[in-house]
Amino acid sequence: ANPDVFAKLLRRRHLISYGAFGVVYEVDGAAIKIGCIPDSEPVIQQWVCEQYERALPVWAFASDVILPKVVTHEVCPQHGFLSSLWTRTSVNCHCGERLDALAMPLAERADQRKVGEEDFSEKVYEAVLKKFQVSLDIHKGNFLEFNGKLTLCDFGDANDKAVDYW
């Protein structure tokens, strides 16, 4: 991807949410997750989308993306949006670094009443663990609604060692 074109697109970003390892923006009708995203995450997300229709389709993924400094500052857990899992001194500075980017369609936050009613997450969790040896972080905050269906989001491994990097 051309860094200049991506930088121009990111000028139109609006914060959707942030988590332990990244930030999700809305950019021109797409959701763009930027941060520490393991290569397996988009693969698992697309697989769950195709096998169970319980994930957003992956439109694009790139590692080590050149980003505008203002964006890396926002995504930096030490200087930007800080997850409640960290303190400013427990994380590394990532300002100016190349980060990973994942593009997908926008979805709505899930109605929390529906999360308890639909019981597909255990099945997806077990299937992902069996196929990819990845333990998903399934909690109420990781559900979305897309095309009238409850879906999971965040397909990173809850036991990943990225915490050492971040």
The domains of the chain, with CATH numbers, are 3-157 (3.30.200)
Ordered per-residue pLDDT tens for the chain, 166 residues: 677 888 999 999 999 999 888 999 999 999 999 999 999 999 999 999 999 999 999 999 999 999 999 999 999 999 998 888 778 888 889 999 999 999 999 999 888 888 877 779 999 999 999 999 999 988 888 999 999 999 999 998 777 755 566 6
Structure tokens at 64: 């080590």
Q: List the beta strands (DSSP E) in the chain.
A: 14-18, 22-27, 30-35, 60-65, 99-105, 108-109, 143-146, 149-152
Distances 139 to 34, 64, 76, 116, 122 between C-alpha atoms, Å: 21, 28, 24, 11, 11
pTM: 0.91
